[in-house]
């Protein structure tokens, strides 16, 4: 018996399913699953004329986002999980969580979902196997990963796979746990059918477990989009960008810009996760381990992201959007008036107040459907990064863009990122929290050690990417967003590429290098000179107020905080004190 078969037999003995079904990932299997889900109301068919091959899933109203407070790292020592993760000892997990799996699949089918994270044939691809009782999860994993026979073939009789146990349980938040065992490289998830909690290849494997594998093996697993930027004449650059959930990674990865007419082309390699490795050439190489997009729907429209709109025009699973009586999906920002008789995300007649689609409603769609997908998106070796971009959602403080002075300073910039919370996780929206490298909810080990790993990895790169920070969300005194964003973000990317090439004007500030006003292309933008100044402004008082917050955040890591980061903080403090206001 192969190791994977032995494991399935072992867990089935506890889960007690009525049936075990090994998924091959084929069309016939998917059609059978969809048919069953249409029959039992897990899926609703959408209008075959305007949304061919599309379905709507409504999740339980208490199960609409990742639940970070129910997500745990179960390393034997609390210190290994660090101060930013919820920790549970493996013994406690066995006591509190394992019993929730006992008999959980009685009357249900246990689906075995073998999957590969990483491009086909890539030496960096890794196999996971998810056991689940949710056909919605199976259908979604088929889109988000390379699922089925391909994974079993890659695995053969090896033991080298990440086992993930998932059951919907009774969907009660009181009995919901997402537990990661980094040392054993296994995952348990119970009580949720929501994407980030239940599609175990994504956040659980490709970020939390993979980040610990990456630490041990000398690479990085990051919450980053990867985009390709072709300049007129054909020169091509790749950028990785880490923004917290629901801060525009998908939009940036699929950017369509007015300067496209001049020969600039942006193509998509990935929209959420990047696995990064030092190459023999001293550069940092990136692969997208996923095969699909699980993106935020509201705000996806012809002006904001026409490529995403085209991508999701067919063969897409929508979760928690609104729908017309004729099965036309609708959401805020779609760029169309709401159809008459609209049903909200819970299937109730919408009375026009509040959002009709859930703010965290999602699309699940194959990456190959994206019109802007890069021909290199499945390159087994990945793509070499010219730049890494960190970014947050800050109404104040952070300028539109700045560049770090070097890799070490770039790690400091990433480690001190702040961002306002969004609907992608349960809890209050709009409060600023430190979200280092956008990995706060996704780092599978002590973040202090993670910063150290970033520093060490940089030392091994002869040609490290330049590191930048962006903020598209600065507001004026009236609370209005100043920067138009979306397609115009290309202007900022082009300044970065100029900097990478040793050109592009910049002024030194205590936080790093900010474009001088004349080196950004503002042409045609309806911005006054005071708005331009506001966008690029490094306000000393605001940054002085950041320093104690950063210090308090750093202190949480105790002896795990690399000395280099305390030094960078001291430098910032000193430079702020000496700068002329």
Per CB under 5 A, 272 contacts Mn ion: yes
DSSP string for 123-156: TT-EEEEEEES-HHHHHHHHHHSEESHHHHHHHT
Per CB under 5 A, 425 contacts Mn ion: no
- Rounded distance between C-alpha atoms, residue 351 and residue 357, angstroms: 12
Among residues 470 and 569, whose Cβ is nearest to Mn ion? 470
Scanning 139-147, 269-277, 500-508, 509-517 for contacts with Mn ion by CB under 5 A, the matching segment is: 269-277
Task: Count other C-beta atoms under 10 Å from residue 487's C-beta.
Answer: 19
Rounded to a whole number of angstroms, the distance between the first and last alpha carbons of the chain is 71
Q: How far is the CB of 361 from ligand OXD (least distance, A)?
A: 12
User: Which residue's entry shows tokens 């990478």?
Assistant: 500
Among residues 418 and 458, whose Cβ is nearest to ligand OXD? 418
Scanning 93-101, 133-141, 264-272, 559-567 for contacts with Mn ion by CB under 5 A, the matching segment is: 264-272
Residue 83 DSSP one-character state:
T
Per CB under 5 A, 435 contacts Mn ion: no
Tokens standing for 321?
């959007």
370 classed as catalytic: no
Which among Mn ion, ligand OXD, none contacts residue 294 (Cβ within 5 to 8 A by kind)? ligand OXD
Tokens standing for 93?
């997990």
Among residues 239 and 576, whose Cβ is nearest to Mn ion? 239
Q: How far is the CB of 393 from ligand OXD (least distance, A)?
A: 13
- Rounded distance between C-alpha atoms, residue 222 and residue 224, angstroms: 5
Tokens standing for 128?
């996971």
Q: Cα torsion at 493, 495, 500, 503 (round to 10°)? A: 160
Among residues 272 and 449, whose Cβ is nearest to ligand OXD? 272
Beta-carbon contacts of 174 under 8 Å, excluding residues fewer than 6 positions away, are: none
Binding site for ligand OXD (CB under 6 A): 66, 195-196, 245, 272, 294, 424
Looking at beta carbons, which residue is closest to ligand OXD? 245
H or E element at residue 166: strand 162-167
Q: How far is the CB of 423 from ligand OXD (least distance, A)?
A: 9
Q: How many residues bind Mn ion (CB under 5 A)?
A: 2
Scanning 80-88, 244-252, 483-491, 534-542 for contacts with Mn ion by CB under 5 A, the matching segment is: 244-252
Q: Are 187 and 214 in contact (CB under 8 A)?
A: no
Which among ligand OXD, Mn ion, none contacts residue 57 (Cβ within 5 to 8 A by kind)? none
Q: How far is the CB of 440 from Mn ion (least distance, A)?
A: 12
Angle formed by the axes of helices 447-459 and 407-415, nearest 10°: 160
Q: Which of residues 40-79 bind Mn ion (CB under 5 A)?
A: none
Which among ligand OXD, Mn ion, none contacts residue 550 (Cβ within 5 to 8 A by kind)? none
- Rounded distance between C-alpha atoms, residue 201 and residue 143, angstroms: 11
Q: How far is the CB of 242 from ligand OXD (least distance, A)?
A: 11
Per CB under 5 A, 378 contacts Mn ion: no
Per CB under 5 A, 386 contacts Mn ion: no
- Rounded distance between C-alpha atoms, residue 63 and residue 103, angstroms: 22
Chain-centre distance of CA 93, in angstroms? 26
Q: How far is the CB of 243 from Mn ion (least distance, A)?
A: 9
Among residues 245 and 307, whose Cβ is nearest to Mn ion? 245
Q: Are 527 and 549 in contact (CB under 8 A)?
A: no
Among residues 211 and 408, whose Cβ is nearest to Mn ion? 211
* Catalytic residue (choose from 23, 54, 204, 247): 247
- Rounded distance between C-alpha atoms, residue 278 and residue 214, angstroms: 11
Q: How far is the CB of 405 from ligand OXD (least distance, A)?
A: 29
Q: Which of residues 135-194 bind Mn ion (CB under 5 A)?
A: none
Among residues 287 and 482, whose Cβ is nearest to Mn ion? 287
Sign of the torsion angle spanned by Cα atoms 453, 459, 463, 464? positive
Scanning 11-19, 231-239, 245-253, 559-567 for contacts with Mn ion by CB under 5 A, the matching segment is: 245-253
DSSP bridge partners of 55: 45, 317
Phi and psi at 370, nearest 5°, equal: -80, 125
- Rounded distance between C-alpha atoms, residue 113 and residue 128, angstroms: 8
Per CB under 5 A, 245 contacts Mn ion: yes
Among residues 272 and 420, whose Cβ is nearest to ligand OXD? 272
Among residues 418 and 512, whose Cβ is nearest to ligand OXD? 418
Which among Mn ion, ligand OXD, none contacts residue 43 (Cβ within 5 to 8 A by kind)? none
- Rounded distance between C-alpha atoms, residue 425 and residue 255, angstroms: 25
Task: Count other C-beta atoms under 10 Å from residue 476's C-beta.
Answer: 13
Q: How far is the CB of 272 from ligand OXD (least distance, A)?
A: 5
Q: How far is the CB of 274 from Mn ion (least distance, A)?
A: 11
Which among ligand OXD, Mn ion, none contacts residue 424 (Cβ within 5 to 8 A by kind)? ligand OXD
User: Which residue's entry shows tokens 């539109």?
Assistant: 400
Give the active site residues.
247
* List of residues contacting Mn ion (CB under 5 A): 245, 272
């Amino acid at each position: 018996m192969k190791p994977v078969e032995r494991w399935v037999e072992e867990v089935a003995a506890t889960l007690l399913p009525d049936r075990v079904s090994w998924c091959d990932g084929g069309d016939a299997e998917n059609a059978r699953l969809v048919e069953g889900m249409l029959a039992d109301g897990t899926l609703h068919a959408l209008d075959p004329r305007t949304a061919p091959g599309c379905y709507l899933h409504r999740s339980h109203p208490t199960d609409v986002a990742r639940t970070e407070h129910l997500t745990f790292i179960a390393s034997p020592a609390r210190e290994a999980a660090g101060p930013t993760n919820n920790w549970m000892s493996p013994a406690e997990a066995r006591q509190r969580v394992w019993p929730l799996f006992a008999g959980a699949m009685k009357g249900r089918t246990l689906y075995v979902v073998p999957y590969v994270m990483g491009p086909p044939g890539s030496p960096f691809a890794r196999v996971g196997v998810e056991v689940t009782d949710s056909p919605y999860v199976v259908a979604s994993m088929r889109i988000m990963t390379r699922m089925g026979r391909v994974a079993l073939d890659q695995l053969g009789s090896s033991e080298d796979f990440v086992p993930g146990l998932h059951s919907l349980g009774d969907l009660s938040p009181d009995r919901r746990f997402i537990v990661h065992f980094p040392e054993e490289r296994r995952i348990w998830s119970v009580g949720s059918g929501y994407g980030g909690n239940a599609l175990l290849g994504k956040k659980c494997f490709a970020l939390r477990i993979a980040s610990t594998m990456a630490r041990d093996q000398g690479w990085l697993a990051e919450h980053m989009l990867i985009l390709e930027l072709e300049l007129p004449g054909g020169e091509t650059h790749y950028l990785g960008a880490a923004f917290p959930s629901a801060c525009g990674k998908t939009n940036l990865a699929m950017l369509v810009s007015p300067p496209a007419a001049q020969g600039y082309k942006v193509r998509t390699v990935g929209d959420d996760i990047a696995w990064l490795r030092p190459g023999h050439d001293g550069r940092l190489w990136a692969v997208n381990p996923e095969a699909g997009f699980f993106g935020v729907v509201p705000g996806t429209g012809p002006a904001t992201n026409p490529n995403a709109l085209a991508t999701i025009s067919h063969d897409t699973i929508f979760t928690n959007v609104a729908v017309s009586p004729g099965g036309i999906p609708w959401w805020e920002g779609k760029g169309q008036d709401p159809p008459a008789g609209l049903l909200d995300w819970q299937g109730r007649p919408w009375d026009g107040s509040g959002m009709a689609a859930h703010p965290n409603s999602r699309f699940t769609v194959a990456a190959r459907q994206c019109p802007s997908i890069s021909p290199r998106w499945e390159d087994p070796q990945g793509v070499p990064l010219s730049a890494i971009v960190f970014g947050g959602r800050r109404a104040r403080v952070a300028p539109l863009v700045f560049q770090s002075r070097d890799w070490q300073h770039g790690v400091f910039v990433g480690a001190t990122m702040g961002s306002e919370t969004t609907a992608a996780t349960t809890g209050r929206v709009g409060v600023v929290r430190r979200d280092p490298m956008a990995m706060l909810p996704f780092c599978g080990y002590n973040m202090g050690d993670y910063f150290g790993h970033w520093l060490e990895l940089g030392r091994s790169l002869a040609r490290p990417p330049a590191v930048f920070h962006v903020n598209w969300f600065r507001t004026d005194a009236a609370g209005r967003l100043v920067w138009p964003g979306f397609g115009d973000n290309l202007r900022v990317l082009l300044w970065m590429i100029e900097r990478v090439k040793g050109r592009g004007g910049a002024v030194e500030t205590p936080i790093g290098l900010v474009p001088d006003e004349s080196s950004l292309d503002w042409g045609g933008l309806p911005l006054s000179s005071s708005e331009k100044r506001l966008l690029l402004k490094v306000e000393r008082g605001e940054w002085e107020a950041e320093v104690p917050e950063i210090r308090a955040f750093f202190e949480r890591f105790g002896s795990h905080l690399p000395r280099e980061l305390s030094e960078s903080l001291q430098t910032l403090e000193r430079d702020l004190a000496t700068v002329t206001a």
